[in-house]
Structure 1
Amino acid sequence: MQLWKYHNPVRLSVGPGVFEQIPLAIAGRTYALVTYPEPVFTDLGRRLAAATGSQKLVITDFHPNPTLDDLRACNAMLALRPDVELIVALGGGSAIDVAKALAVGRGSQARLLAALHGNASSDDATISALKLIAVPTTSGTGSDVTCWATLWDQENSRKLSLDRPDLFPEASFIDPELTVDLPWSITLSSGLDALSHALESLWNHHATPLSRHLAVLGAQTIIRTLPRLRQQPEEIALRTDLSLAALYAGLAFSTTRTALAHSLSYPITLRFGISHGIACSFTLPAVMQAALGSDPRCDDALRQIFGDLASAPRLLARFLADLGVSTDPAAYGVEGDIWQELIGEALAGPRGRNFIASDRPEHVAQVLSRARLAQHDIEGDRSQMTGGR
């Protein structure tokens, strides 16, 4: 019997209209709101300010893939309000990641850098992060139920991670009504990010019975829901299903972390400008092919989602192609020797080492090298997938 643990301290409020409950969680504490400058977020921020009376600062000046330069400016703003007790993140993964970074920095870029670079000898390392409330407005990143955040050091062309137990949000409010007006491109990218989280938590050395159950449920729901949302983007029932699926996937990978597809995605986003959700999902069929046969528990979980394992990678590739997502690295400008180089780097990275076939790097590299499933090469019908039931 497998011995396993599960821990996730985030207090969840889920369902249409839970946005109205946020003031009760803030409970009169002074807070900084981290969100976007678009009118819809401005209006939501004003509603929150009117209902709480304790909003001290609004921070909006950061990029979709937040950089250290972004955080330097944001920390400088936060430093002007030492009375802030709480960070409230309203937005997608970038807003929640910035909020987590600010919770650690507490107005000090030096404190944030010490945490990013693992400088445990620094006095800053002993200072706990500010409390955080997450209000996700996309269905996919999982940042609202994890204790890590991704930042980008563009000057040195690298991805940086925060990973601290005090970065689990105190509470997360998942209101599908906030996602109804999302453009299809963001719905797709964030939904595929969630699918990646679900599948990456299955072909993972750290998978547990509970994380597998959550991942299967999340993947089945995403596969069933995303194509329908393309046709009915304002259908609240579908938006609710996708929000729940993203939550299940987030809870699954909050235990396991991600694996090889994510390890491949980071340089593709950084060097080629491909959005994270697309960058970490277009390789999923090839990574699945490399994973098959490595762990019977993973195979069983994938069988629950896709049915016959022999055709599962092709079925997933067909699903992506029907959504307009090519599974050929060349479609994203990643060709030849560069692709081979990225495979080697990804396998050597910490997320690559989470992959259940990481002990067979030559096999994995061979599968990924030949698994360029261009749209016209993909056969099969998406309806064959058991996740469609």
Structure 2
Amino acid sequence: MIARFHNPVDTRFGWGSLHQLADITEHQTVALVTFPEARGLGLVDRIQDLLGDRLVYVIEDVQPNPDVAQLRDTYERFWQEAGECHAVIAVGGGSAIDTAKALIVGTESGRFDELLALLATGKPFVPARSKALIAAPTTAGTGSEVTPWATIWDSASHKKYSLHLECTWPKVAIIDPQLMLTVPGGVTVSTGLDALSHALESVWNVNANPVSDTFAISAIADILECLPLLRRDLANSELRSRMALAALKAGLAFSNTKTALAHSISYEMTLRYGLPHGIACSFTLPLVLGMAWGHDAARDRTLQRIFGNDLHKAQNQLREFLHSLGVKTEFADYGVTAEQAEQMIDFAMQGARGKNFIGAKAA
């Protein structure tokens, strides 16, 4: 097999790397997309100090799991009031970066429903206009800064839209672990488990290759060791840096493979049961590991480099790791019956992400 790996994102990693924003955006006007607490944490002022009068527009009311109900007004105001800016910088977690990805895809009319109609076709399209995106994550987990995908939710209709175009690859990713120092324990765990899910999902994946495996294996080892330590010592700059790098490696891994079954299951768990994304896609990892084992000799060898040769012990290791972080690992723990769980797994197998799973063809 000839392995192919491609990631076009200009990636800057390191403590204090946010300072490079001024040089990256030289001679450009910039809009900022961030989360409500960012101003209180001093992040908006820091961006303002770095950019000066090049910062022409600020959106600071991003909510978790960007929903069409809120995005519609934000999108249309952005294109009316900041349509001439050159670039958008997203500073925040996956929701801020996903929101920014939706905003930069401009429609002919400037109306959000035109974008939704294009997404509903499920076919790629070339937008009428677009903006350059710079992504500076404040959490170690989503990988959105080095991938083109964004999820847009329609909770009222129990639907989701997947956005991924050539223009939704960030032009630059700034991974500055200093931005992650103030992330509370619960979010640290949830986003760290999202990164673990990305890495594992890229391994039990029909699109896996030796290059993506290299990133994934390293990320998994780091997260299994580092995340419990960080949970107990949230102000530790070394641990924050290690988790930031692990999440970046996980992002690079699944930027080429996409995710698989655990993520496909997670969408229903978020839409119908309100689980935060990191928990929704990680609580099934021991189960999915068992479903992946034995389908492909090469994938088994990769999994065994991480967990050893005993499946039962491997599942227990993952289960105990999740339990140590306060994450329950059974569907019943979330109010899902055995029959509902079986139906959910069957449905997830049919989704685009479910079909990436190495066990999907045998199902």
Moved more, 300-309 or 339-348: 300-309
Match of 1:383 in 2: none
Task: Give the TM-score normalised by the residue count of structure 1.
Answer: 0.89
Give, in angstroms, the shift of residue 33 of structure 1. 0.5
- Check conservation: 2:147, 2:251, Cα contact below 8 A: yes
C-alpha contact (below 8 Å) 1:36/1:42 kept by paired residues: no
- Distance in 2 (CA, whole Å) between partners of 1:273 and 1:146 is 25
Report what 2:257 is aligned to: 256
Q: Work out the CA distance in 1 between the residues paired with 2:258 and 2:130.
A: 21
Letter in 2 for 1:190: T
Where 1:161 maps in the other structure, the secondary structure is strand
Shift of 1:334: 1.4
User: Would you say the 8 A contact 2:264–2:349 is kept in 1?
Assistant: yes
What is the correspondence of 1:17-28 to structure 2 with a 5 Å cutoff? Answer: 17-28=16-27
Cα 1:298–1:41, aligned 2, differ >3 Å: closer, same or farther?
Answer: farther
Mapping of residues 333-348 of structure 1, within 5 Å:
333-348=335-350
**SS of residue paired to 1:205:** coil
User: What is the one-letter code of the residue matched to 1:36?
Assistant: F
Match of 1:60 in 2: 60
TM value normalised by structure 2: 0.95
Secondary structure in 1 matching 2:57: strand
Given residue 341 of structure 1, which amino acid in structure 2 is its aligned partner?
A: Q
Partner of 1:132: 133
**Structure 1 CA distance for aligned equivalents of residues 296 and 246 of structure 2:** 24
Q: Residue deviations 1:40-92, cap 9 Å, x none?
A: 56621222122212111111233201111221111122122222111110000
- Amino acid of the structure 2 residue aligned with 1:323: L
What is residue 298 of structure 1 aligned with on the other side? 299
1:283-339: CA deviations, max 9, x gaps?
000100011111122212211212233221111111111111111111111123221
CA RMSD of aligned residues (A): 1.6
Provide the rounded CA distance (Å) in 2 between the counterparts of 1:287 and 1:18. Answer: 37
Residues 207-240 of structure 1: per-residue CA shift (max 9 Å, x gap): 0110011100000000010011122111111000
Q: Is 1:105–1:111's contact at 8 Å kept on the other side of the alignment? A: no
Counterpart residue number, 1:48:
47
d(CA) in 2 for partners of 1:120 and 1:16? Answer: 39
- After superposition, the C-alpha distances for 1:108-160 in whole angstroms (9 at most, x for unaligned) are 31442243223869xx8442421100000000000000011001012210121
1: CA distance between counterparts of 2:305 and 2:184?
A: 31
Structure-to-structure mapping, 1:34-45, within 5 angstroms = 34-40=33-39, 43-45=42-44
2: distance between equivalents of 1:115 and 1:4? 32
Q: Unaligned stretches of 5+ in structure 1?
A: 362-389
The amino acid that maps onto 1:51 is L
SS state at 2:204 partner = coil
Match of 2:334 in 1: 332
SS at match of 1:282: coil
Contact 1:31 1:55 in 2 (8 A): yes
Among all aligned residue pairs of Structure 1 and Structure 2, give the percentage whose two residues are the same amino acid: 44
Matches within 5 A, 1:84-123: 84-105=85-106, 107-118=110-121
2: CA distance, partners of 1:30 / 1:167 = 19
C-alpha separation in 2, matches of 1:39 and 1:259 = 32
Aligned residue pairs, count = 358
The match for 1:32 is: 31
